[in-house]
Amino acid sequence: MEKIRKEFPVLRKGIYANTAVYGLLYDSLLEWRQEHDLDFLIDGSDMREQSLKVISDTRSTVGRFFNCKRENVALVSNFSSGLNILLEGLSATKKVLLVKNDYPSLNWSFENRDFEVSYIEQTTDLEERIKEKITTQKIDVLALSLVQWLDGFAIDLDFLKELKKENPNLIIMVDGTQFCGSTSFDFDNSGIDVLGASAYKWLLAGYGNGFMLFSNQVKNEFTINNIGFNAADGDFDKKNDIRFAKKFEPGHLSSLIFGSLKYSIDFFERIGMDKITARNRKLGEKAKSEFEKLGLLTDEIVNRKQHSTIFNIKADSVVFQKLKDNDVFCAQRGDGVRLSFHFYNTEAEIDAIVKILKTDR
């Protein structure tokens, strides 16, 4: 991984424990983006066919990477935009279950409409309590983040798969922004009906690109009125024959922005998602163990068998400033300091952070 770390100039400035805010730009992606714009500068409209191919290839790449049928992939500028388009097509009679304090763009999108919304507290036994609520309250839609933005709480993916088997009519919708790119994932065998994600965090693709993945069931549950010439591939005859996922792409898409997503996925595949998954699992286990020893994690997180690589440690603004003064990139979230680690981090960096934290005890 040391060779790969050299791709990321920011790592020479300090310890980057802030991927949950923004995934790093890297040298080879920047080179690709510059070459793309240079081609556009020189060729102008002659770039059109090449640009269309980039968009098409990006859709195929996203589908392959997450094992989702190509025709069920929508390319969107970000998760929030895609979700709002989708919810305009969902019947307001649906009963929705949300997790309290989940990402605002997720919860607000439901709360701002006429759905019957109920909530569940994030607790160590969250999965068991979700199952109970769905049974007793006859929930139609479960919507939650696969990894919680505030503290890295990770939902059990096997639980979602079993939940869908037991409740085939339940619509499971997830925000994958703090998850996608951190570990291998098989959408078509996950039991999830809708996964939306912005790609500027763990997929390292820069701002302005994201995607929505849909199960085959979804098109029967939503009525999407979004439309545009691009959705019909610029063909007048296709106005009334636009597939479900393409309705999320009414206007032209940027080959620079979405080509960056394709480039990053290709970059991840060159490294190997098995290696990235294993690396992040090791980093997560290391960080959890060390922060637990210092008493910096809540019991809710400590008692979970599985966790992500995002941690919200018990720390005030003084500790936050101390970390910043020691060139640690991190963020204040809620009542603590959030630290997040990706495959370009090292166990030695976690040790260095622990050493800094111990000086304040």
Break the chain into its structural domains and give their ranges. Answer: 2-25+273-358, 33-270
Q: Can you name the CATH fold of 2-25+273-358?
A: Aspartate Aminotransferase, domain 1 (3.90.1150)
Structure confidence at residue 235 (pLDDT): 87
Contact 237, 228 (CB under 8 A): no
Q: Two tokens at 188?
A: 């078509």
- Class of CATH domain 33-270: alpha beta
Reported confidence tier of residue 361, pLDDT bands at 50, 70, 90: low
Mean pLDDT for 347-352 is 98
- Distance, CA of 285 to CA of 273 (rounded, Å): 18
Would you state the structure tokens that stand for residue 1, as one six-digit string?
A: 């991984």
Q: How many angstroms separate the Cα of 245 from the Cα of each of 33, 160, 197, 289?
A: 27, 23, 15, 42
Q: What is the pLDDT of residues 64-101, one digit of tens each?
A: 999 999 999 999 999 999 999 999 999 999 999 999 99
- In whole angstroms, what is the distance from residue 56 CA to residue 305 CA? 40
The first and second tokens of residue 106, run together, are: 């997720």
What gap in Å lies between CA 22 and CA 180, rounded to an integer?
Answer: 13
Contact 134, 102 (CB under 8 A): no
Enumerate the H helices of 112-254 as residue ranges. 126-137, 157-166
Determine the average pLDDT of the residues in 193-199: 98
Gap between the Cα atoms of 153 and 50, Å rounded: 41
For position 2, what pLDDT does the model report?
78
15 beta partners: 328
Question: What is the percent of the chain where pLDDT is above 90?
Answer: 90
Q: What is the pLDDT of residue 360?
A: 57
From the number of C-beta atoms within 10 Å of its C-beta (0-12, 13-18, 19+), residue 361 rates as exposed
> What's the mean pLDDT in 246-262?
95
Cα distance between residue 133 and residue 95, in whole Å: 11
pLDDT surpassing 70 at residue 311: yes
3-class secondary-structure state, position 193? coil
Helix (H) or strand (E) holding 143: strand 141-145
The predicted pLDDT at position 45 comes to 79
- Residue 341 burial (CB count, 10 A): 30
Give pLDDT tens digits for 264-298.
999 999 999 999 999 999 999 999 999 999 999 99
- Whether 342 has a pLDDT exceeding 80, the answer reads yes
Model pLDDT for residues 19-31, shown as the tens digit of each residue: 999 999 999 999 9
pLDDT at 251 over 70: yes
Average pLDDT score over residue span 121-136? 96
Give the integer Cα–Cα distance in Å for 150 and 314.
12
Percent of the chain scoring above 70 in pLDDT: 99
Q: Strand locations in 200-316, DSSP E?
A: 210-214, 310-313
| Mean pLDDT over the full length of the chain | 95
pLDDT reported for residue 228: 93
